[in-house]
């Protein structure tokens, strides 16, 4: 019976570049993956820096902070809309050219953000900036997986996502500092520079890779009719929402529950970022070893850890450890979800990988909304973590259904996987 990694390897081989990984030197592969991860670093910086300079933006365009907060929501909306639409429409295009085009569109969106004269144009610019987000990660993940041997594909995909985690650790704090010192627009000009460097790096070191000329929009969107794809998206939206229930309200947890000063908030966020880097790297290795088992373990661990944070948040030491471990668990979960969607999407792997980011942004909205509800109900700032534990537990429901279907599928004869030339694989 084929393992998860073997099934994914067959499907990646069927839809990725015809060039075999051994034809590239190790140095060339590493440099190419770093170039792809640099785009993730730029995207992660622009996604989260808005939170750091939100008061400055509000003052700059003459709105209150809650109104400025809509800039975060509209970016997330752009991700949710753009990921499936762009991935489905662009499956035929050569992948290196597509990466350059997506990063160019991202660059333009951030230029428009930096020069926006007022609030309405700023909202439109943030929406446009979010559109290429998921599709870029979808294409970059597939290209990275095609560059390495089958047993290393989880690590290659996690390395691309590592750019996003590294942004939380270094890019967001640095851009936030620049925005506070030199005006909020300088934070987005920094992102523009990162995007420009990414375009140059992709053109210079990422090997050319053809698209799928036989792909159609209808065919790509057929992936959304696959039960395993829908169930995995459900795990991401509900289960991963638990992390955002805590993260969205981490500042008052630090100050009001643990009794620490406001000055410690950036330090604990730094701890969160370090956990994300470690968890993303670990997630790739676990996905290569046992993808589905790692997905289950990461979701269970996330629920337990969120419950422990809710119980122990009044202890500063316990909160620091808890935030770090929650970040590790959530990052492992994100990588495993990405790989699982690539595995279950059939030939529409790019769409599957892109949809992961739509799901995670919906998880962001769900976790923040439910966390806000329990705070507004007077249950205190521990309550969002308890809600997060409940969301992680709820995510086990679609995962259990997925496990049942998966057992039936693996018990049946494995169907041959067609290649673009029509010759079956496996």
Domain locations in the chain as residue ranges: 1-215, 221-412
Domain 1-215 fold is Growth Hormone; Chain: A; (1.20.1250)
CB 389, CB 244: distance < 8 Å: no
The encoded tokens of residue 271 equal: 């701890």
CB 183, CB 302: distance < 8 Å: no
CB 202, CB 40: distance < 8 Å: no
From CA 218, how far away is CA 194, in angstroms rounded? 34
How far lies 149's CA from each of 6, 272, 417, in Å? 11, 31, 18
Distance of CA 333 to the CA centre of its chain: 10
Task: Identify the band that residue 11 occupies on the pLDDT scale cut at 50, 70 and 90.
Answer: very low
Quick check: do 1-215 and 221-412 share a fold?
A: yes
* pLDDT of res. 305: 96
CB 290, CB 4: distance < 8 Å: yes
User: Which carries the bigger pLDDT value, residue 174 or residue 329?
Assistant: 329
* pLDDT of res. 14: 43
User: Which carries the bigger pLDDT value, residue 85 or residue 51?
Assistant: 85
The encoded tokens of residue 325 equal: 């471990």
pLDDT of 280-300, one tens digit each?
889 988 988 988 999 999 999
For range 173-194, the mean pLDDT:
90
* pLDDT of res. 423: 37
> What is the second-level CATH architecture of the domain 221-412?
Up-down Bundle (1.20)
For range 408-425, the mean pLDDT:
52
pLDDT of 236-255, one tens digit each?
999 998 888 888 788 788 88
Mean pLDDT of the chain: 84
The percent of residues in the chain predicted with pLDDT above 90, rounded, is 35
* pLDDT of res. 394: 95
For range 80-104, the mean pLDDT:
87
For range 227-234, the mean pLDDT:
90
Q: Which residues pair with 418 in a beta bridge?
A: 424
Decide if pLDDT at 219 tops 80: no
pLDDT of 59-76, one tens digit each?
888 888 777 878 888 898
């Amino acid at each position: 019976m084929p393992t998860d990694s073997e099934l994914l390897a067959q499907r990646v081989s069927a839809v990725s570049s015809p060039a075999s990984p051994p034809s590239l030197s190790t140095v060339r592969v590493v440099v190419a993956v770093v170039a792809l991860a640099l785009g993730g670093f730029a995207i992660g910086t622009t996604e989260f820096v808005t939170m750091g300079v939100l008061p400055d933006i509000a003052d700059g365009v003459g709105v209150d902070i809650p109104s400025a907060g809509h800039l975060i929501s509209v970016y997330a909306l752009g991700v949710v809309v753009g990921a499936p639409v762009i991935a489905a429409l662009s499956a035929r295009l050569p992948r290196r050219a597509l990466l350059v085009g997506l990063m160019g569109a991202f660059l333009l969106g951030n230029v428009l953000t930096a020069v926006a004269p007022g609030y309405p144009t700023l909202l439109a610019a943030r929406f446009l900036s979010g559109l290429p987000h998921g599709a870029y990660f979808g294409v970059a993940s597939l290209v990275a997986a095609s560059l390495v041997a089958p047993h290393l594909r989880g690590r290659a995909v996690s390395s691309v996502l590592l750019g996003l985690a590294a942004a939380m650790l270094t890019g967001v704090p640095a851009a936030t500092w620049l925005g506070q010192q030199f005006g909020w627009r300088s934070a987005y000009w920094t992102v523009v520079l990162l995007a420009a460097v990414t375009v140059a790096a992709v053109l210079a070191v990422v090997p050319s890779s053809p698209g799928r000329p036989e792909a159609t929009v209808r065919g790509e969107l057929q992936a959304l009719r696959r039960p395993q794809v829908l169930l995995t998206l459900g795990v991401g939206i509900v289960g991963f929402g638990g992390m955002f229930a805590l993260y969205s309200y981490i500042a008052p947890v630090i100050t009001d529950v643990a009794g620490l000063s406001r000055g410690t908030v950036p330090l604990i966020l730094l701890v969160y970022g370090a956990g994300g880097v470690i968890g993303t790297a670990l997630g790739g290795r676990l996905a290569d070893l046992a993808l589905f088992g790692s997905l289950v373990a990461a979701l269970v661990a996330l629920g337990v850890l969120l419950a422990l944070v809710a119980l122990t948040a009044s202890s500063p030491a316990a909160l620091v450890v808890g935030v770090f471990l929650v970040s590790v668990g959530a990052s492992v979960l994100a990588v495993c979800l990405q790989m699982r969607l690539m595995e279950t999407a059939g030939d529409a792997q790019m769409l599957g990988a892109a949809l992961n980011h739509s799901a995670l942004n919906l998880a962001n909205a769900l976790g923040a909304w439910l966390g806000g509800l329990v705070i507004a109900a007077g249950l205190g700032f521990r309550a969002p973590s308890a809600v997060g534990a409940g969301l992680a537990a709820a995510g086990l429901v679609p995962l259990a259904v997925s496990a049942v279907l998966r057992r039936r599928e693996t018990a049946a004869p494995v169907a041959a996987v067609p290649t673009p030339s029509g010759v079956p694989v496996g």
